[in-house]
Chains A and B, each alone.
Chain A
Amino acid sequence: MSAAATNQSLGRLEIGVSRTPDGDVLTLKGQLDDQATLSELLDQIGTHVIIDLGGIRFINSVGVREWIVFLGALVERGTRVVLRRCSEPMVHQMNMVVEAGAGAQVESFFAPFVCSGCGSEQSVAIQVALIKDQLLARTVPPQPCPDCGDSMRFDDFPNRYLLFLE
């Protein structure tokens, strides 16, 4: 159950902040670019924050910098940061820029899958704790296709896509 939810926006980024028994939940949705000056949110976040990144559909190089400045400030002041549902664009940036995930715990992330049967492309949420050993061994188990029920295979290079979990 959440309480005291607030919604705001920074450029083309929609932001929701809510208080839950597990900590503050910061939900980011839209585009992370130079107008997404996330550091403005620091005062709204307590000692434990879960950041839901599932709605980030675009993050450019300047947006990455806004993100790492924000994340770095949270970690430096001792806030416990959990990253939930990291979207594929976020994962790509976290793989290239170490600081984009530094000091945070990745709870779950989206990964690309393609169906062997019908060719459907899906982005599937992966819970890290459930298959941590497999992920560290750079394997991603197949998933059932929501369209046809056939098996979907991971659609990227594990050695490249899972780097951010190191």
Chain B
Amino acid sequence: MRPILIVHGDKKTQRQVHRILGGTFCPIELCDTVAQAEARLRDSNPFLLVCDHQQMITEHGRTVLARHGVPCLVLMHDPEPDDLSGILGVESLSYLLANPMPLLAEEMSVTVHKLMRRDIFGLEKYLAWGLEMREHTVTDCAQRPEIVDQVAAAVQDAGFGPRVAAAASLIADELLSNALYNAPVDDAGHHFRGDEPRHGPRALDAREQVTLRYACDARFLAIEVTDRYGSLDRKTILRCLAKSTGRTAEKVSMGTRGAGIGLATVYGTCNHLVFNLEPGVRSQVIALVDVRFRPAELSNAVCSFGVFAI
């Protein structure tokens, strides 16, 4: 069995991460530095590298990661939003867990199990057993606002308050919009719905239909949107998420129908954003909104993310 390699300069964190990932029953190898990790990457051929973000963003860290091409899960402790821009510039980055310890335990475990089993799809993996699932299939573009309103109303009725309801409606709207207008591609890879107005009726054929599901446990409200094209890729995702960081001008696209900040908006609205990609078949985006802790209680202004592909 290929091991998991943990690279972290803090021994206590090493032990905590070891304990969390030990539950996978994978061999675990520990290193203090990227320099030490390089030999292990060559000799042990780990299937996952778990690395402190401070080491990841160094020139050496980027070089090592690019050279070995191993999936990398980056840990950020007490991050500030400004820290994100450096991380999102690492092209080979796939997973970022920005929660302070020990809150990231469940997400870290889920991330690793998804990679081990190559079973990546479904919001159920992030929620507790026994959840009540709501599902909508969009068969006409005109249904989008109605479905968004239904999601917001359900969240409001569930007692999560207006702020979570507002977040839910924005997430649902942006993800549906992406799936309806940006996801469809023709054989040449042209996004043939990209120039259409974002409102009004249009009946969707079987492949263009989009599925939205949402559910909640005692911790997360999860909103999942799946298209049947699979045209989203990691490079595009990282480029879009980078727009959520920094107060720079000209993030908004002016010459296109879409504004180009939809995914960044979703990323800035949730606590954990998951992309499950099956190229040419389907793309699934899951936004997790923490309903257990208030933002200040989480001590975490940065959103985690994961890009999984099969």
A interface with B by C-beta (< 8 Å)? 11-12, 33-35, 57-58, 60-62, 64-65, 68-69, 88-89, 92-93, 95-99, 102, 112, 114, 121, 123, 153-157, 159-160, 163, 166
Contact = CB atoms under 8 A, between A and B. Distances in A.
Interface stretch (B32-40, B101-109, B249-257): B249-257
Interface residues of B, number: 39
B173 interface: yes
Interface in B63-97: 80-81
Is the contact region of chain B dominated by helix, strand, or loop, or is it mixed?
loop
Given A89-B170, A159-B301, A61 B296 contact: no
Interface in B164-184: 166, 169-170, 173-174, 177
A61 B249 contact: no
Contact of A156 (B249, B252, B296): B296
Given A121-B162, A155-B295, A96 B268 contact: yes
A153 to B, nearest CB: 8
24 contacts: A33-B199, A58-B166, A58-B173, A61-B174, A62-B259, A65-B252, A65-B254, A65-B259, A88-B163, A89-B166, A93-B265, A96-B244, A96-B247, A97-B261, A98-B248, A99-B249, A99-B250, A123-B162, A155-B294, A157-B301, A159-B301, A160-B81, A160-B301, A163-B247
A161 B281 CA distance: 39
Contacts of A89: 166, 170
Contacts of B261: 61, 64, 96-97
A88 B166 contact: yes
Given A61-B174, A157-B295, A159-B301, A96 B198 contact: no
Contacts of B268: 92, 96
B111 to A, nearest CB: 25
B146 to A, nearest CB: 12
A166 B243 CA distance: 18
A95 B80 CA distance: 15
Nearest to A87: B166
